[in-house]
Structures are given as structure tokens and as C-alpha cells.
Amino acid sequence: MKKQGTIVKTNKMEIKVHSLGRVEGDLDVKVAIEDGVVVDAWTEATMFRGFEMILKGKDPQAGLIVTPRICGICGGSHLTKAVYALDTAWGTEVPPNATLIRNIAQAAETIQSIPRWFYALFAIGLTHRNYASSKLYDEVVRRWAPFEGEHYEIGVTVSAKPVEIYAIFGGQWPHSSFMVPGGVVSAPTLSDITRSISILEYYRENWLEKILLGCSAERWLENKTWDDVLAWLDEKPEHRDSDLGLFIRYSMEIGLDKYGAGPGRYLAAGSFFNPQRYRYPTIAGRNAALISRSGIFDGEKFHDFDQARIREDHTHSFYRGSGSYHPFEGLTDPVDPIEGRKEGKYTFAKAPRYDIPGIGETPLEVGPLARQVIAGRPGAEEWQDYDPLFLNMIKEIGPSVMVRVLARLHEAAKYYLRMKEWLKQIDLNEKFYIKPKELPEGRGFGATEAARGALADWIQIKDGKIENYQVITPTAWNIGPRDRHGQRGPIETAMIGVPIKNPEDPVELAHIAQSYDSCLVCTVHAYDAKSHKELAKYEVIKMC
């Protein structure tokens, strides 16, 4: 991080860090530090997103064109939830082949992001000079140094392969709109299926098993507890010396397993549908048809996911008023930040909350760790994912930066195997699209799991036009601000208790933000380009 100057008068200080995330957009964080430890934090999305306002009054299918442009990284995920929102609003029939291809496309985008995020966005921070005294430091630099690291180059290069599969079915990636209500507008051939399997095998042979795991995907997925992972680490030199093995050992040495826990409460909207069980998509029938299950974990108990319990709080966000609204009643009415700050507002991100029965509106972490904790819920149906590893890990060693990163790397093996199975299930002699009836009135809800977490759309249609459209992104869940009850957002909570070695270069804060992979392009887009206001600088400044 670029240093702008920090003056320490006492053992108490505040610092503000600009552009903390490495992915598109800007995340600013202000933290209060006492005796070298963070005691309070405020996250700030510095620019306004207005896609909901753009969509109002448009044709209902405009969401299929506009929302994939929200993000150049998760455009396929945006398309996936947008099409399911319309499927539920129009009451379509979706042939099983179309569901399989939607699943494959969603998974392809996710496994693309895993090596790209790990090497290009997260692991380069581990080469920071703060850790030069570690006995593993030289090896970490040799493998993961930006642009020069041996595995950095391999990981970034291989990350481009899975989206070739997306392009085979979707015509392009990113910003495709090939998923439509009633199916997909592609008709793959046997050659397309064969090419896709070949690309998946390239991903496995050249990175997943050779570089990341040091073993087969199946062997890694045999690990069901943290003790299993430790035993796996010692089982063979190939495991210990793999990138996953090195990451675990290095994390425990430099303390990434000791901070960044977050709220300890999780939400997953779920993703990937059983092709036969979601032929007629409805909001009510969604949970039962999911392969990667939805759910809430409140730190002690699991709860079923119900989109009707989601709220967005505006109290500390640069939007008019201070209410808390369900997205069907959601408002997007921005105010000038200068005026908003007079009311205690400090960010353009709203504060998503989930009304947990018996607890109330609660900030929840979303993302790979949330998904894998929910995967540990007992009672999965035969076609659904059951995987207790990360539920065991948060109980045995607690959540942390290390555990959150491990959850994301873990998904590379799971999704690779699922994609292979879905490709085999496509029946080239059956339909891929059934033309729906375009209803002039309706309400729809669609959701999926983007690489970085739960992503959902709510659409209301009136007189054949969009009456209201609301999007809640995973980054909004994680970087959202305080709410009217004074509850911090998940990343704000994750910052508390973090030891800062050097306040002028607080790399520890970056590790936390980047472990969530906050993507502000999903949350912010443009704000008053003619004002000449400072929007973002990569710096640390003294606040008091």
C-alpha cells in the first residue's frame, strides 16, 4: 500500500485506507486502533450504483441484458439469477437440458475465478516484507510473487480455460445473455461436449491436481474434518508441498488463522438446480430443487432460507430516509454524500440483513465459507451436496482469513467433478428451450451463488414493464455498513481485534478484505464525473 503519512500522538489513532480491495472498484476502510489493535471499523463504498433506476420502465427482459453488465467478473452469475427471476415471474417451463447448461455455465465462471483470485488478488499480499522472517517466505515469493512467481503465471493462465466452456454454450464470456426465460438459446453438438470435457481435463491436469492439491480431487474431498486435513498434510510430500499445503503451513506460521473471523453467522442463497425438480421454477419450490443448498447458520443452529426475510437498511447509507425494506418494496433514491454525512451516513452500500426467527435482523457473511458451512447441515437429499468439512473447521479452530480462503480453494475440486457429471447428462436429442408466455403482471425472485457469495434479483412487472427491480450483491452483504440497530457489517466486524504491525502499511486489513474478495464494481459504478471530487487513492491517511 502506498504510504501518505501517519502521525501517532498517543496509543490511539484512526487511519483510513483507500482502495483496499484489488478487484475492480473501490473499498475504503476507516479503522480505530488502540495499542496496535483495531477496536472499530467503518467500510465505505465511495460511488453510486444506479442499475435499478436504469431498469425501471423497461421491458422485463432488459434485466437479461443490463444486469450481466454490472460486473465483468460475475456477469454469468448476474445473468443466472436474472433469468430465474423472470422464470418465476412468468411461470415458465425449463427443459432439463437448459438447467444442466445453466449449471455448467455458473460453475465454469466460478472455477475460473478461483485461481485468478488466489494468485492475482490474494496470494501476492503474502509476499509482503512483513513476513520476510518466515522460514517459508522465500518459497512463497518464488511461487506467488506478482508477475514473476512460477505458480502465479500458471494459475493466472489456467484461469482463462473454464470460461472457454462458458463461451462454447453462451457464445461469449463475459456479458453473455444466452440464458432466456424457458431455457437457453444454444444447441450444443457432441463436439461441443467433447471440447468442454477436454478443457476441464486441462484445468485438472495443469493446475487443480498438479499445482493446487498435489493429489486427486477425489482424495482431497475425502477430508471431512480439520484433523483429516492435518493428516492429509503429513500423508505425502506432494500434499505438504502443494500450493494448498504451503498455504496452510504459511498461514499458521504468520497468523492468518488467528484473525478476520467475521460475524460467525452465514447465509447461502444456494445454486445449481436438479434438472428434473426445477422444470417449473417457483419461489416456493426453489429450496427443495437446489443441489448446493441454501440456508442460514446463526452460529448455533441452521434455518431454512426464505427470501421474504431479507431487508435492506438505509440508515447509514447515502439514500433518502432510514427505513429497512424488503427488496420488493425497495427504494433507490440517492442523496449527496455531503448532505448524507450530516445524518451519519457514510457509504453508498446499503446494509442487507436477514430476519432470523427469534433473533431479528442480522448481518450475515456470504461467500464460499458460508456455502461450505451450509453444506454441512444434516438432512441433505440424495441429489444435494452434503460436506461437513468447514462446519467442523469453524467449530474446531474458528473462522479466520485462512479458513475463508481454504473454503474457496476447496470448491475448485467440487465444481470440477460436478461439471463433468452435468456434461455427461446432456441429451442432445431433447429440447433446450420452451417458449414461455410473456405475462404483463407478476413478481419474480432469482438467486445464485457467484464466486464471492449470494446474488439475487427481485423483479415486479406491471403493464408489461418493469415496475421495480432490486439487486443485492454478495459484496453488499459483506461490506454493508451499520444498520439502525448499530450492528456492524460483516467486514467491519472482521476487522475488530486485528493486530496492526505497521499503521502506515496495514497489510493485515488488506488480507481480510481480500479474503472476502469484495468486488465494489458490483456495488458502485459512477458518481458525478464532473465534480472533480476525489473518488479513490491508494493511500493511508491520518484522520485524527
Residues of each annotated binding site: 52, 71, 74, 471, 519, 522, 525
**Going along 181-248, which residue ranges are E strands?**
183-184
* Alpha carbons within 13 A on the beta-carbon side of 483: 25
Alpha-carbon distance of 390 to 369, in angstroms, equals: 7
Q: Which of 56, 84, 21 is nearest to 452 (CA)?
A: 21
Q: Are 61 and 74 in contact (CB under 8 A)?
A: no
Nearest to 521 by CA among 46, 3, 32: 46
Q: How far apart are CA 145 and CA 141, in angstroms?
A: 5
Contact 206/199 with Cβ under 8 angstroms? no
Residue 164 · residue 199 · CB < 8 Å: yes
Contact 409, 115 (CB under 8 A): no
3-state SS, one letter per residue, for 155-196:
HHHHCCCHHHHHHHHHCCCCCCCCEECCEECCCCCHHHHHHH
Q: Which residues are annotated as a binding site for Ni(2+)?
A: 71, 74, 519
Q: Which three cell numbers stand for residue 340?
A: 448524507
Measured distance CA(95)–CA(124) in Å, rounded: 44
Three-state DSSP at 100 gives: helix
Q: What is the amino acid identity at position 417? A: L
Strand partners, 310: 354
CA separation for the pair 281, 84 (Å, rounded): 7
| Residue 311: strand, helix, or coil | strand
Query: Which residues on adjacent β-strands are paired with residue 334?
Result: 319
Q: Which residues contact 312 (CB under 8 A, 6 or more apart)?
A: 324, 325, 327, 330, 350, 351, 352, 353, 470, 472
What phi and psi values does residue 510 have, to the nearest 5 degrees?
Answer: -65, -40
> In this structure, what are the phi and psi dihedrals at residue 327, rounded to the nearest 5 degrees?
-55, -30
Answer yes or no: are the C-beta atoms of 331 and 325 closer than 8 Å: yes
Rounded to 5 degrees, what are φ and ψ at 27? -115, 115
Extract the annotated binding site for Mg(2+).
Answer: 52, 471, 525
Residue positions forming the annotated binding site for Fe cation: 74, 522
Rounded Cα gap, residues 357 and 351, in angstroms: 19
List, in sequence order, every residue forming a beta bridge with 188; answer none if it has no partner.
none
